[in-house]
C-alpha cells in the first residue's frame, strides 16, 4: 500500500505546531508588509499581524512561489509515495489552479484537491482526508471524494468594520463612510468558494442572530440528511476577537445543541487582511464517515 501524505496551506488555519501533532504538512502563505516579506506562522504571528494592520501598514498577500511549492512537495515525497494537497478555494485565489498546473510535473504523485473551501471548512477537509487514508482509500480516490463533497459546507462572516473592504475595492468610499456612520455590520457568506454579501444589520448582536438563523436554515434544509446521520459539524473563526467569539459560541450552543462543535480558530491572515479585526464567523461542514 502506498504511503500517502496530506498537505494544505496556512489558509486552513492549521498552525505549524498543530500540523506536526496531526501529521499533516502546511505551506505558509506569503505576505509583503512594506518592503519586507513574511510567511504566516513562520516569521509573522497573529499578534504581530494585527499590530501592523492597525498601524495602517501596507499589507499585500500573494500566492506561494513556484519554487516554494515545488520544494514543499519534493520534501514531503522524500518520505511519502503520494501527496494529497488541499489549497484554498479556486473561487478565492489563483493558487489552486497554479498548484494543479505545477502538479503535472510530478507525474501522478501529487493530487491537488479543489474543495472550494477556506479557513475552518478547509481544515475540516484536511481531517476528512486523514480519515479516508485510514480507511484505505488511494490518493486519487480521496481527491475525487473531497471534490464530490465540496459543496457540503457553508460559512457566514460578520465584518466589524468596512475600512478593509473599502481598501480592497469591495465597497466604495462613500458606501464605507455611510456604513461606518450608521454602524452597519455586513454579514458575508461563502458558498462554493465565492464570497458574497448576505445581509446588512445594525449591531453585532443582530449579526450574530442573523448568522445563527442562516446556519440553522442550512442544517434544516440542504444538510438535513447529514444532520440525521450525525455527519455535520459546526466550527468558528474570528479576527482578533477572542471575547466576541467566546460569547458567540455559547449562543450557538444554546440555539443548535444537537450538532457538535469541532474548531474555534483565528481566521487565516490571508482573509483577515481583507476584512479587518473584530470579525466573527460560523461555519458548518460534513464529516465524511
Same domain, 168 and 134: no
Q: d(Cα 144, Cα 94) in Å, to the nearest integer?
A: 20
Please count the other Cβ atoms lying within 10 Å of the Cβ belonging to residue 93: 20
Closest CA to 251 of 264, 268, 240: 264
CATH number at residue 243: 3.30.1180.10
Q: C-alpha grid cell for residue 126?
A: 484536511
Same domain, 176 and 280: yes
Q: d(Cα 59, Cα 56) in Å, to the nearest integer?
A: 8
pLDDT at 167: 55
Same domain, 139 and 158: no
Same domain, 159 and 276: yes
At residue 273, φ and ψ (nearest 5 deg) are -65, -20
Same domain, 278 and 165: yes
Tell me, yes or no, whether 114 lies in a domain.
yes
pLDDT at 174: 34
CATH number at residue 81: 3.40.50.10440
Same domain, 127 and 182: no
User: What does the pLDDT average to over 92-97?
Assistant: 77
pLDDT at 92: 67
pLDDT at 245: 98
Instruction: Say how many domains are in the chain.
Output: 2
Residue-range definition of the domain harbouring residue 121? 4-29+64-148
Same domain, 163 and 88: no
273 versus 121: which is more confidently predicted? 121
Same domain, 275 and 240: yes
Tell me, yes or no, whether 57 lies in a domain.
no
pLDDT at 1: 80
Indicate whether 117 pLDDT > 60: yes
**What string of DSSP letters covers 73-119?**
HHHHTTT-SEEEEE-S-TTT-THHHHHHHHHGGGTTSEEE------H
Closest CA to 14 of 172, 121, 155: 121
Indicate whether 179 pLDDT > 70: no
Q: Residue 116 in contact with residue 84, Cβ under 8 Å?
A: no
Closest CA to 150 of 173, 174, 175, 129: 129
221 versus 96: which is more confidently predicted? 221
Q: How confident is the model at residue 129 (pLDDT cuts 50, 70, 90)?
A: very high
Same domain, 242 and 219: yes
Q: d(Cα 33, Cα 49) in Å, to the nearest integer?
A: 9
Same domain, 25 and 120: yes
Q: d(Cα 55, Cα 7) in Å, to the nearest integer?
A: 33
182 versus 38: which is more confidently predicted? 38
Q: d(Cα 189, Cα 159) in Å, to the nearest integer?
A: 11
Query: Which residues, other chains included, contact 154 with Cβ-Cβ below 8 Å and sequence gap of 6+?
Result: 121, 189, 190, 191, 214, 215, 218, 222, 223, 283, 284, 285
Same domain, 69 and 114: yes
Tell me, yes or no, whether 133 lies in a domain.
yes
What pLDDT digit, counting tens, does each position of 130-164 carry? 999 999 999 999 999 999 999 999 999 999 876 76
Same domain, 140 and 11: yes
pLDDT at 183: 60
- Domain stop point among 148, 165, 185: 148
Indicate whether 110 pLDDT > 90: yes
- Domain stop point among 126, 148, 170: 148
**pTM of the prediction?**
0.90
Amino acid at each position: 500500500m502506498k504511503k500517502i501524505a496530506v498537505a494544505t496551506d496556512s489558509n486552513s488555519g492549521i498552525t505549524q505546531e498543530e500540523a506536526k501533532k496531526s501529521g499533516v504538512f502546511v505551506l505558509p502563505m506569503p505576505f509583503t508588509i512594506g518592503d519586507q516579506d513574511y510567511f504566516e506562522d513562520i516569521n509573522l504571528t497573529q499578534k504581530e499581524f494585527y499590530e501592523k494592520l492597525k498601524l495602517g501598514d501596507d499589507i499585500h498577500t500573494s500566492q506561494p512561489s513556484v519554487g516554494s511549492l515545488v520544494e514543499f512537495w519534493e520534501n514531503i515525497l522524500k518520505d511519502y509515495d503520494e501527496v494529497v494537497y488541499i489549497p484554498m478555494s479556486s473561487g478565492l485565489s489563483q493558487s489552486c489552479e497554479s498548484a494543479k498546473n505545477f502538479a503535472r510535473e510530478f507525474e501522478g504523485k501529487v493530487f491537488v484537491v479543489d474543495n472550494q473551501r477556506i479557513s475552518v471548512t478547509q481544515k475540516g477537509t484536511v481531517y476528512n482526508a486523514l480519515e479516508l487514508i485510514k480507511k484505505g482509500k488511494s490518493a486519487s480516490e480521496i481527491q475525487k471524494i473531497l471534490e464530490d463533497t465540496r459543496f457540503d459546507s457553508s460559512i457566514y462572516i460578520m465584518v466589524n468594520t468596512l475600512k478593509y473592504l473599502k481598501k480592497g475595492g469591495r465597497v466604495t468610499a462613500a458606501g464605507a463612510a455611510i456604513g461606518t456612520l450608521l454602524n452597519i455590520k455586513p454579514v458575508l457568506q461563502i458558498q462554493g468558494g465565492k464570497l458574497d454579501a448576505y445581509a446588512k444589520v445594525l449591531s453585532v448582536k443582530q449579526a450574530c442572530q442573523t448568522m445563527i438563523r442562516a446556519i440553522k436554515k442550512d442544517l434544516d434544509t440542504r444538510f438535513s440528511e447529514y444532520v440525521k446521520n450525525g455527519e455535520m459539524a459546526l466550527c468558528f473563526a474570528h479576527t482578533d476577537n477572542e471575547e466576541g467569539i467566546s460569547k458567540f459560541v455559547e449562543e450557538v450552543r444554546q440555539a443548535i445543541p444537537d450538532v457538535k462543535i469541532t474548531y474555534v480558530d483565528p481566521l487565516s491572515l490571508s482573509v483577515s487582511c481583507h476584512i479587518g479585526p473584530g470579525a466573527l464567523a460560523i461555519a458548518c461542514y460534513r464529516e465524511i464517515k
